[in-house]
Amino acid sequence: MSSNGKPTQLAGLRESGWKSRSVKQEIYDNLLKKLSREEDLFPGILGYEDTVVPDIINGVLAKHDMLFLGEKGQGKSRMMRQIASFLDEEIPYLDLPGCPVHEDPFHPITRQGKELVATTAEEEIPIAWWKREDRYAERLAPGTKFADVIGEIDPAKLAAGTSMSAEEALHFGLIPRMHRGIFAMNELPDLDEMVQTGLFNILEERDVQIRGYPISFDLDVFLLFSANPATYNRSGKVIPQLKDRIGSTIQTHYPRERDTGIQIMEQEAAVELDGEFPVIIPYFMREVVEQMSVEARKSKYVDQQSGVSARFSIANYRIMIANARQRAARLNEKPAVPRISDLSHAYASSVGKLELDLMGSHQMTERQVLEFIQAQAIKTVFEEYIDKHGLEEIAHIFESGIRIEVGDMLPSSDYADRLRRVPPAWEKAFEVNASTDPAMRASCVEFVLAGLHATDRISRASRFGRITYDT
């Protein structure tokens, strides 16, 4: 026995009553236990409780290999990794020097393992323990070769005199090394066709054949895949035989509700709001940032087949807070409260995260598309907050030639003076948030002004974080 009470020889393992299970049976059993105890199966995964999670549970209980199908930024990789939490904390394996396969002590698959069990007393066969976190491996498809995931003949071993048809001549790829574990392949359609054929053989026969030589292994591996619908459904990207052998397809999606998207955004951004310059974020600013993603996902200017990742919201949320905190440090204002003008820096956090629809964008630049999406988001949220009564009065005042300049580096205390000539806008800001804190008031004023512009009541010009509103 080891110091932690676990057997270190095969005889002790047999006496302990440990029984062999396939990896899918192991996950099946542990999932049922978690369900019966009402445990949270996928911590940190929000918005999938009634859609995606039930399909995953069914796939596991059906003992299917699974494909996670959805646009970028929908948590596919995270959920695949969390399936590893259904594995045992650790399992025993034959401690064979130089053997890359974690052999089931009672059912070895390699010649080395079989010979050891057949010729050695169980009291002398060493046992080690394989931890849960080491039993999951994943690979990104682009650039992946057959040797990487399946295996290859090792030329060094051939040079040493090993027969090409001998098991000892093989270099094992990731999948044989994950025997009794989980292997995940991200972006399946980008995988070379020859590698796809090798995966098809594993799904069909549960064995590995390398370069046609009569060397095969009865593999026990749980296979997971991820793909984007635009490429997965394109003819010729995934061989039909491979598609046919994948047991369950788990369709993911973007948040169905904006509040869910906000929860995901805040959780994943994980920004510390305390500290020397604490940050208080008005809820309407959270809504505007997440609504930008909502608008982008339905915009005719954005390539919808590519999708708009949750990382779009997360990056914009972080940059908004960062600019508010920069202002607080420069002006020695506390607390820092994000404003609409802070989103003038969102281009830096958005570039590369939107793919334009070349037909729908009509040669618009990425910056112009982003500004349009931001204006639509402000309009949507503004109209939810503000009753139309009183807005025309504000717009009429601007028609008399009033110009108001605001900006991301303007002290919050200046906003009261600048709005003296437009008192209805100042009062309307109180309806958004009744706080008298200067920084919160400044944020509310900018929201009202930006909303008036987004609903075509006043005009605006922007330059280097300075925004001027007039008629």
List, for residues 108-118, the tens digit of each pLDDT value.
Answer: 988 889 999 99
Question: What is the model's pLDDT at position 5?
Answer: 78
Residue 208 CB contacts under 8 Å (≥ 6 apart), including other chains: 150, 151, 175, 176, 198, 201, 202, 215, 216, 217, 219
C-beta atoms surrounding 312 within 10 Å:
27
- Alpha helices by DSSP H, listed for 72-154, are 76-83, 111-119, 146-149
The tokens describing 246, both together, are 């994948």
Residue whose entry in the numeric block shows the structure tokens 């309307």? 428
Q: Which residues of 356-386 are buried (b: 16+ CB within 10 A; e: fewer)?
A: bbeeebeeeebeebbbbbbbbbbbbbbeebb
The stretch 137-142 carries a mean pLDDT of 94
The model's confidence at residue 3, banded by pLDDT at 50, 70 and 90, is very low
The stretch 34-50 carries a mean pLDDT of 95
User: Which residue would you say has higher pLDDT here, 230 or 158?
Assistant: 230
Report pLDDT digits (tens) over 272-299: 999 999 999 999 999 999 999 999 999 9
Nearest to 406 by CA among 444, 446, 464, 450: 446
Question: What is the model's pLDDT at position 341?
Answer: 93
The model's confidence at residue 152, banded by pLDDT at 50, 70 and 90, is confident
* Whole-number percent of the chain with pLDDT over 90: 59
The stretch 119-143 carries a mean pLDDT of 95
Instruction: Confirm or reject CATH 3.40.50.300 for domain 10-251, answering yes or no.
Output: yes
pTM of the model: 0.87
> Whole-angstrom Cα distance, residue 8 to residue 4?
10
Domain locations along the chain: 10-251, 258-470
The model's confidence at residue 166, banded by pLDDT at 50, 70 and 90, is low
> Whole-angstrom Cα distance, residue 103 to residue 108?
5
What ranges make up the beta strands (E) of 190-274? 221-227, 248-251
The stretch 134-157 carries a mean pLDDT of 82
- Is the CB of residue 249 less than 8 Å from the CB of residue 240? no
Read out DSSP for 139-155? EESTT--HHHHTEEE-H
- Phi first, then psi: what are they for 82, rounded to 5°? -75, -20
Read out DSSP for 401-414? T--EEEETTS-TTH
Residue 402 has pLDDT above 90, yes or no: no
